[in-house]
Amino acid sequence: MEILKIQHLCKTYGTGESSVAALKDASFTMAKGEFAAIVGESGSGKTTLLNLIGGLDEPSSGEVYLSGQPLFSMREQERTLFRRRNIGFVFQSFQLIPELTVEQNIVFPLLLDYQKPDPKKLEELLAILGLTERRRHLPSQLSGGQQQRTAVGRALIHSPMLILADEPTGNLDSRSSREIMELLTRAAHHYRQTVLMITHNMDLTAYADRVLRVSDGQLTDLGGNRDEKLS
Amino acid sequence: MKSYLSLIPVCAKTHRKQNRMTLLSIIFSVFLVTAVFGMADMEIRSQKLQAVSRYGSWHIQIHNLPKEDAALIARRPDVTLSSWYNILNYRVREDYFIGGKRAAVCGIEPSMLSIMEYELTEGNFPENDSQIILTNSSKELLGAKLGDPVTLTIPGGGTLTYTISGFGMDTSAAMESDSIISFLPLSAFQSLYHLVHETAEDSDLVYYVRFSEHCNIRKSIQDVKEQFRLNEDQIGENTALLGLMGFSRDSYMMGLYAIAGVLFLLVLTAGVLMVTSSMSSNIAQRTEFFGLLRCLGAAPKQIRRFVRLEALNWCRTAIPVGVFLAVVTVWGLCGALRYLSSMYFAQMPVFGVSLPGILAGILTGLVTVLLAARSPARKASSVSPAAAVMGNADTAQPIEKSVFTPNLPIELSLGIRHALGRKKNFLLMSCSFALSILLFLSFCAASAFMDHAITPLRPYTPDLTIVSPDSACSIDADLAAEIADCPGVKRIFGRSFAYHVPADLLGQKKEIMLFSYDLQQLNWAEEYHYVLDGDLSKMTEEGNYVLAVHEQTEAEPSLQTGDVIHTALGDVTVAGILSHCPIDGTSDMERLICSEDTFRRLTGETGYTVLDIQLTRKAADEDINRIRTLAGDQMLFCDQRLGNQDAKGAYWAFTLFLYGFLAVIVLIACFHIVNSISMSVSARMQQYGAMRAVGISCGQFIRMIAAEALSYAFFGCVFGCFFGVPLHYLLFSRLVTARWGTPWSVPYFALALIFLVVAAASGAAVLQPARLIRRMSIVDTIHSR
């Protein structure tokens, strides 16, 4: 079932001679429960693509459909609410709220929606994340891996259709990286959530069902399977 | 680049936006102090002129001084002028007449004219004992001119004839009492004095001394006292002038100096706090930059130097701008004062430049910035080099506990947390607000002082008054009608008096003073809220209704509405109580006001005792002379225009100063709140970017920032009231209660007003960050580091 549809997405920064085309006519679709990795060199346009898909930035042209809903036809306020309820983000630098505990950070998207978290679901998620013991800790009292697991928990708590992860293991050691990748894989395969991840680490593409490459703003679908190595 | 400090101007260009608020804070502090000092300087100059014109420019007066000692004092190098002086009939109540007009006679030496800053408008100082100087009004009153002989009649009927050698300026006292002031040379005065006081051994002359302004006057006075063994009773000081020159030892003036000093310190502290918080936020936003400098080998001392020099670099722009704005403001205010009271502030320089004001501004700018830079410089120098490398500068001060409140929506919880999270910042912000409240309450106490010290003109204050000489109802009502038709007359109203009327006041035998009000005066009482109790509509009814007067300074009112008083004229009923009336009361005579009809009914009198006249702005001297002629010589004619101008001028000056200052304080509070919130939001932009990505809406953001602003404001108000109300009590007790006896009460209105201002400013503080967040690029913000 198609959940994400990208159509002729373009992003150009600047105007005239100084304009830079960061993304050129990118189109692809993703099915429910699919885990895709985007690879590419620094400055190739992969983060731009992820930001556009997440509705954090506006494209110069093209459209993003999430569950059939055109993201950029919505007004800013609607898009914010849509993002809050349907998209989960995982950032390289965690971006947790330093004033909130692990548990509060995880339920933050629900709190923004004035919803009461389901304690059973929260317990289960904390257990999966391995953070049950650390639930009352503040981000500053956690290791990098634990902070990123908290960030993943925050992306999963409201069961979004799409999880966008921008270099989620960029600041982590190999053990923590593996744990995070297993969590994302589980989200895709166990909970049927669509995951799109940016990575520099070619080894991590092994976790993905599909690999996309961005080079000079051009998107190429490399297709691929798990364990496929890309040069 | 010659040194690492060359980075400062480069950084300033790059961080222009971030520096703007700090620059504004410094400009505001400099502006405030320069404007306040500048205006105080101008006011002191104006007050000095006023004090000199009212009391003279002498510093001390010495009674019972032997002539030899006076000669020695005159030869002192620190004495610029000295003169003997005395006056006969100072209150113009005794029977001294010149050409039928009551007169006061002064004995002076030529130097006294300079000491009193008294100018001769025509003629010269008397060359012999047969010459005399008269005030200008005598030209109109007596039709006198230079060289004319005038006859001085003294009590007992004796007469002396003098020739007019000169005319001098009119004084408000002379105009008010419709009298003439005359000046005789000292020897002629002494002869006159002995003629009047035959048994007197000397002529009670007083020696007036003016010291050089360049010496320490206080020390000179002490020297004179010790050298000539003068006791406290012998020596009198020109307290008003010495006070304005900063030399007064009068305990009340010392109290005022102390209060001025405290208020200045409070303003300075407000400035330091404001600049410190701006600079701290500015530094906090550049922690990584300082970390990077440390990484590259900069020593903490170098970083401190960098921050201090950067702050001084801001002064290069901020101080001249602040000073310039203040000078222009002072010009505007001086111009406004001259316009408001051209007489009182006639000599106030419109384009005057106050050197003390400018110096105070520059000094304040530098001191404020250097003091304010200390803490941010320390903070910047203590940034770990690792912070720059790891990109986790923000965690240099880890948060120790979560203050999430489950009962509150998450955005409010976070907003409060942001305010309370950093204790130092929270204290700094709350204290700044508290300080603004302290300043506001202090000035409210000063405003109460002003209301008591300077009585603004009442609606019934007349410019001219015609009084029946024997206090009888002998002014014909037709005269009032005739004067009402004269050009220059805006309004005329009369009062008829019945003095010493025996009455039974609630079982107590007492005398009353009954006087009438016309409709206009009754309307004023209603319109200006002078009615403390009762109903004025009854006053025009048939019954014998009266109004009692109860001044605020009195204890309990002796009469109540509804009381019936049995008087020798008939029974009267109290219809109401007034808080003010134009007649001063005495403890042994109750004042009762009735309508004109009631007065006629009770006394049978139809004439007036007093006619009060208010003039139009365009009224000319010829118009006043015409009224004087109509009134005739039999009536007492008082011209109160000069005195009214003085009162009006003083009131406007104080009002402008106090409320101007109050407005500035409110502005500081508003500016500070807006500035601080804007800084706080800028410092958390990256976090806000992440929150936006996760899905926080703009409305939730605004609520979060509003919660933060209101938290500072709330605690600021609590601290401000905790310290401000006792301070208000202290100032009020010293300034008002000690002098007028008015008891202190909680300044509810002032508190409500400042709370409202703080709440409004907190609301306004949210606008700029809200705009910032709406325009914020989530992508740029998240990836800004």
Mean of all residue pLDDT scores within chain A: 87
Q: List phi, psi (to 5°) of B397.
A: -115, 85
The DSSP-derived string for chain A is -EEEEEEEEEEEESSGGG-EEEEEEEEEEEETT-EEEEE--TTSSHHHHHHHHTTSS--SEEEEEETTEEGGGS-HHHHHHHHHHHEEEE-TT----TTS-HHHHHHHHHHHTTPPP-HHHHHHHHHHHT-GGGTT--GGGS-HHHHHHHHHHHHHTT--SEEEEESTTTTS-HHHHHHHHHHHHHHHHTS--EEEEE-S-GGGGGG-SEEEEEETTEEEEEE--TT----
- Decide if B782 and A95 are in contact by the 8 Å CB cutoff: yes
Q: What is the mean pLDDT of residues A17-39?
A: 90
- Pairwise CB contact (< 8 Å): A56 & B778: yes
Answer for the pair B111, B162: CB distance below 8 angstroms, yes or no.
Answer: no
Residue B751: inside a domain: yes
Structure tokens at A216: 């000079």
Q: For B395, which DSSP code?
A: G
The model carries a pTM of: 0.60
In whole angstroms, how far apart are CA B552 and each of B167, B546, B557, B737, B741? 44, 19, 9, 12, 10
Domain check: are B673 and B736 in the same one? yes
Mutation target to probe the A interface, by most A beta carbons within 10 A, among B288, B404, B694 is B694
Tens of pLDDT, residue by residue over B429-465, are 788 778 778 878 887 887 777 776 666 667 788 889 9
DSSP state of B238: -
Q: In the structure, what pLDDT confidence band is assigned to residue B552 with cuts at 50, 70 and 90?
A: low
The verdict on a CB contact (< 8 Å) between A56 and B401 is: no
Q: C-alpha distances in angstroms, B581 versus A60, B556, B572, B646?
A: 79, 17, 19, 21
Report the amino acid identity of residue B705: I
Number of folded domains in chain B? 4
Measured between CA atoms, the residue of chain B closest to residue A47 is B779
Distance CA B652, CA B447 (A): 12
Within a domain: B400? no
Domain end position, chosen among B200, B231, B262: B231
Q: Which phi and psi angles does B639 have, rounded to 5°?
A: -105, 110
Q: Order of strands, edge to edge, in the sheet holding B464-467?
A: B489-495, B610-615, B464-467, B636-639
pLDDT of residue B50: 72
CB-count exposure of residue B768 (10 Å: 0-12, 13-18, 19+): middle
Tell me the angle at which helices B410-421 and B423-453 cross, rounded to the nearest 10 degrees: 80
pLDDT computed for residue B324 by the predictor: 93
Q: Look at residues A184, A158, A151 and name the one whose alpha carbon lies nearest to residue A83.
A: A158
- Count how many Cα atoms sit within 13 Å of the Cα of residue B617 in the half-sphere of its side chain: 3
Answer yes or no: is A218 within a domain.
Answer: yes
Whether residue A226 is predicted with pLDDT greater than 50 in this model: the reply is: no
Cross-chain residue pair B402–A100, CB shorter than 8 Å: yes
Count of domains forming chain A: 1
Sheet holding A35-39, edge to edge: A69-70, A61-66, A2-13, A20-31, A218-223, A210-215, A35-39, A194-198, A162-166, A87-90
Instruction: Report the range of poorest mean pLDDT among B189-203, B356-370, B381-395.
Output: B381-395
Q: Which residue of A has its CA nearest to B784?
A: A93
User: Nearest-CA distance from A140 to chain B in Å?
Assistant: 6
Q: What average pLDDT does the segment B538-567 reach?
A: 78
Q: List pLDDT tens digits, range B173-187.
A: 777 777 888 999 988
Q: How far is B702 from chain A (nearest CA, A)?
A: 13
Q: Which residue type, as a one-letter code, is found at position B699? A: G
The whole domain housing A63 covers: 2-223
Contact between residue A99 and residue B398 where contact means Cβ atoms under 8 Å apart: no
Q: What is the pLDDT of residue B387?
A: 57
pLDDT score of B253 more than 60: no
pLDDT per residue as tens digits for the range A119-150: 998 998 899 888 999 998 988 888 888 998 99
| pLDDT tier at A31, thresholds 50, 70, 90 | very high
DSSP B250-309: -HHHHHHHHHHHHHHHHHHHHHHHHHHHHHHHHHHTTHHHHHHHHHTT--HHHHHHHHHH
- Interface A–B counts its CB contacts (< 8 A) at 90
| Nearest-angstrom CA–CA distance, A27 and A4 | 10
Query: Which chain A residues are closer than 8 Å to B785 by Cβ?
Result: 93
Q: What is the CATH number of the domain that holds A85?
A: 3.40.50.300
Please list every residue in chain A whose beta carbon sits closer than 8 Å to the beta carbon of residue B396.
Answer: none
Q: Does residue B204 belong to any structural domain of this protein?
A: yes
CA-to-CA separations, B627 to B72, B585, B620, B638, B722, in angstroms, rounded:
52, 29, 11, 11, 59
Are residues B330 and B225 part of one domain? no
**Does A187 map to a domain?**
yes
Q: Mark whether B419 and B503 lie in a shared domain.
A: no
pLDDT at B240: 74
Question: Is the residue at B403 inside a domain?
Answer: no
The mean pLDDT value for B224-246 works out to 81
Q: Collect all residues of chain A within an 8 Å Cβ-Cβ radius of residue B700.
A: 112
Over range B201-218, report the average pLDDT: 82
- The 3-state DSSP class for residue B458 equals coil
pLDDT at A9: 92
Q: Which residues of A touch B691 (CB under 8 A)?
A: 97
Separation in Å, CA of A112 to nearest CA in chain B: 6
Rounded to whole angstroms, the Cα distance separating B705 from B685 reads: 12
B757 and B694 in one domain?
yes
Residues B81 and B215 in one domain: yes
Q: Residue B215: is its pLDDT beyond 60?
A: yes
Kindly give the interhelix angle for B7-14 and B300-340, rounded to the nearest 10 degrees: 60
Q: Which amino acid, residue A202?
A: M
**Residue B344 located in a structural domain:** yes
One domain for residues B349 and B262: yes
Angle among Cα B750, B753, B756 to the nearest 5 degrees reads 150
Q: Among B414, B417, B693, whose Cβ lies nearest the Cβ of A54?
A: B693
First-to-last alpha carbon distance for chain B, in angstroms, is 27
**pLDDT tens column, B73-121:** 888 888 888 988 888 888 777 888 888 888 889 998 888 888 887 888 8
**CA distance linking residue B582 with residue B549, whole number of Å:** 10
Q: Give me the pLDDT at residue B391, please.
A: 46
Q: Which chain B residues touch A108 with a CB distance below 8 Å?
A: 410, 694
**CA–CA separation, B496 and B283 (whole Å):** 75
B399 within domain boundaries: no
Residues of A in contact with B415 (CB under 8 A): none
Q: Rounded to the nearest 5°, which phi and psi values hold at A222?
A: -85, -5
- The pLDDT mean for chain B works out to 80
Is residue B133 helix, strand or coil?
A: strand
Residue scoring higher pLDDT (B166 or B337): B166
Last residue of a domain, one of B215, B231, B247: B231
Which residues in chain B have their CB less than 8 angstroms from residue A104's CB? 402, 404
Q: Is residue B631 part of a domain?
A: yes
Chain A residue nearest residue B415, CA to CA:
A99
Predicted pLDDT at A212: 92
Point out the domain boundary residue: B231, B246, B270.
Answer: B231
Backbone angle region of B89, left / alpha / beta, with phi > 0 → left and psi within -120 to 50 → alpha: left
**Tokens 């000319």 label which residue?**
B620
Of A83, A91, A97, the CB nearest to B782: A91
Q: In A, which residues are within 8 Å of B773 by CB distance? A: none
Q: What is the pLDDT of residues A59-105, one digit of tens each?
A: 999 999 999 999 999 988 888 888 888 999 888 888 888 878 899 88
Alpha carbon separation from B361 to B26, B175, B599 (Å, rounded): 10, 43, 62
State whether B750 and B773 are in the same domain. Answer: yes
Residue B476 is encoded by which pair of tokens? 């014909």
Q: Kindly state whether residue A230 falls inside one of the protein's structural domains.
A: no
Higher pLDDT, B338 or A40: A40
Q: Is B311 exposed, middle or buried (0-12, 13-18, 19+ CB in 10 A)?
A: buried
Best of B392, B410, B413 to substitute, by most chain A Cβ atoms within 10 angstroms, is B410
How far, in Å, CA of A52 to CA of A72, rounded?
A: 9
Q: Which two tokens stand for residue B425?
A: 């910042």
Regarding whether B271 and B210 lie in a shared domain, the answer is no
Residue B315 DSSP SS3: helix
Claim to verify: residue B480 and residue B618 sit in the same structural domain:
yes
pLDDT exceeds 50 at position B393? no
| Residue numbers in A near B687 (CB within 8 A) | 95, 97-98
- Chain B residues interacting with chain A (CB cutoff of 8 angstroms): 391, 394-395, 398-404, 409-411, 414, 417-418, 421, 686-687, 690-698, 700, 777-779, 782-783, 785
Task: Give me the mean pLDDT over the B342-354 stretch.
Answer: 69
A228 part of a folded domain: no
Q: What angle do CA B521, B644, B607 make, to 5 degrees?
A: 40
CB A117 within 8 A of CB A157: yes
Give the range of the structural domain holding residue B612, as residue numbers without chain letter: 464-641
Q: Are residues B771 and B646 in the same domain?
A: yes
**A227 falls in which pLDDT band (50, 70, 90)?**
very low
Average pLDDT over residues B556-567: 81
Please indicate, yes or no, whether residues B570 and B635 belong to a single structural domain of this protein.
yes
Residue B323's pLDDT is 92
Q: Does residue B347 lie in a domain region? A: yes
In a domain, A171, yes or no: yes
Interface residue of A85, A100, A152, A159 to substitute, partner B, most B CBs within 10 Å: A100
Q: In this complex, is the C-beta atom of A83 within 8 Å of any C-beta atom belonging to chain B?
A: yes
Residue of B nearest to A98 (CA): B399
Q: Do B623 and B517 belong together in one domain? A: yes
Residue A219 domain-assigned (yes or no): yes
Whole-number Cα distances in Å, A99 to A116, B175, B413? 20, 76, 10
Using a CB–CB cutoff of 8 Å, tell me whether A84 touches chain B: yes
CA-nearest residue of chain B to A140? B398
Tokens of B298: 């900069």
